[in-house]
Amino acid sequence: MKIPLCKSPLTKNDLFEINKSLKTGWLTHGKNNIEFENNFKKITGVKYAISMNSCTSALECSLKGNKIKGEVIIPSWTWVSTANAVLNSSCIPVFADVNLNSRNITADEIKKVISKKTKAIIIVHYGGLPCDMDELQSIADEWNIPIIEDAAHALGATYKGKNIGEISDYTMYSFQAIKHITTGDGGMVVIKDKEQVEKAKRLRWFGIDRNAKQKGIWENDITEIGYKYQMTDIAASIGLAGLEEFDNVLEKRQSLFSLYKKELSSFSDVDIVGINRNDRTHASWLFTVLVDNRYELQRKLTEKGIESNQMHFRNDRYSIFKDSWKDETFSNMDSVENKYLVLPLNHKMSQSDVTRVCSELKGGW
């Protein structure tokens, strides 16, 4: 029996919501998006949420909406879209090393690369574990620059009693196929400032004020470059079905994550990434371990019908970003580059699946 690394969180209500959407004859951005945004706000506790066609678009919207020009600090270890969003916004990505245990960017590493040229800091909550937000906000306040949270992994995570999304001025989420909630592909940007919210709504649709246009008011001017970042109503309908199941999906993933910890914490050949943080709640999107002879372990798991992968690669190795850094050393990233492996974690798994994976690890490789 194969145990897949990831699984799309589709629900029994997806087809119902999609069919309902198709019967309206309205396929593009519309009422489903508004309902999806409102329901999303309820589960996260945020005040404003704007649906997008991807988390990458949401990142770009935050940078472009603030007219950020210059250097933007990002973690060296993240999905390439984080760095691409910086380049696509005519900014310069500056990479910072990540913490050895959490794999998250830290204030200490940011201090090594921050300068007067720095105009923003993008942080990523790797695997679903929140970064050290107090320390990061302190350095952002000192330099008077915004923090933008890439929370693609972190829906359902909390930091010191606050939901991720309630802390920084800008937070974005991913609804890509294998996230906690999917819309096929899609994203959401959470913004605290009402004026920035209205601007983001214009930017996601060519710079046009959609409400004014639909009222037939053609005096509404276009004063800024807009984009085609909006989510379709069909995609939002899948998201609506996903929100109904979100609590169950999150609880299931967190229980499996806890079982992994229990099974492997005392196994000396494995170091678990991102555990033992009592002041925050892990969203449990990825379960990552550090091991020696990673490829031998991956080969063994494949032979046993268990899928594993690296998932993310360090961005400073990609040629497209070669002009963005000048031979900086990332000692923490260097030390684990050939050791990290992501084990299966999805809401379709059973506890016996986790036990089976752990048994294979404990058997050696």
User: Do residues 256 and 284 make contact, with C-beta atoms less than 8 angstroms apart?
Assistant: yes
Q: What is the spatial distance between Cα 135 and Cα 139, in angstroms, rounded to a whole number?
A: 7
Partner residues linked to 132 by β-bridges: none
Q: Are strands 287-290 and 71-75 parallel, antiparallel or unpaired?
A: unpaired
CATH 3.90.1150.10 for the 246-362 domain, yes or no = yes
- pLDDT band at 13; cut points 50, 70, 90: confident
Q: Where are the domains of the chain?
A: 14-241, 246-362
Per-position DSSP letters for 272-295, written without gaps between them? ESS---TTEE---S-EEEE-SSHH
- Which pLDDT does position 289 carry in this prediction? 97
Q: What is the DSSP letter of 76?
A: S
DSSP helix/strand/coil, 38:
helix
Q: What is the spatial distance between Cα 230 and Cα 36, in angstroms, rounded to a whole number?
A: 13
Taking only the tens place, the pLDDT of each residue in 111-169 is: 999 999 999 999 999 999 999 999 999 999 999 999 999 999 999 999 999 999 999 99
Taking only the tens place, the pLDDT of each residue in 208-259 is: 887 776 666 666 778 889 999 999 999 999 999 999 999 999 999 999 999 9
**Closest residue by Cα to residue 147 from 98, 74, 52, 86:** 74
CA distances to 93, 138, 231 from 118, in Å = 10, 15, 31
- Same CATH fold, 246-362 and 14-241? no
User: Model-level pTM?
Assistant: 0.94
Q: What is the spatial distance between Cα 244 and Cα 172, in angstroms, rounded to a whole number?
A: 20
- Which pLDDT does position 325 carry in this prediction? 67
CATH fold for domain 14-241:
Aspartate Aminotransferase; domain 2 (3.40.640)
Burial 257-288 (b: 16+ CB within 10 A, else e): bebbeebbeeeeebbbbbbeeeebbbbbbbbb
- Which pLDDT does position 10 carry in this prediction? 85
Taking only the tens place, the pLDDT of each residue in 312-355 is: 999 988 988 887 766 678 999 999 999 999 999 999 999 999 99
User: Taking the alpha carbons of 252, 258, 259, 260 in that order, is the dihedral positive or negative?
Assistant: positive
User: Do residues 289 and 267 make contact, with C-beta atoms less than 8 angstroms apart?
Assistant: no
Residue that the structure tokens 């940007």 belong to: 189
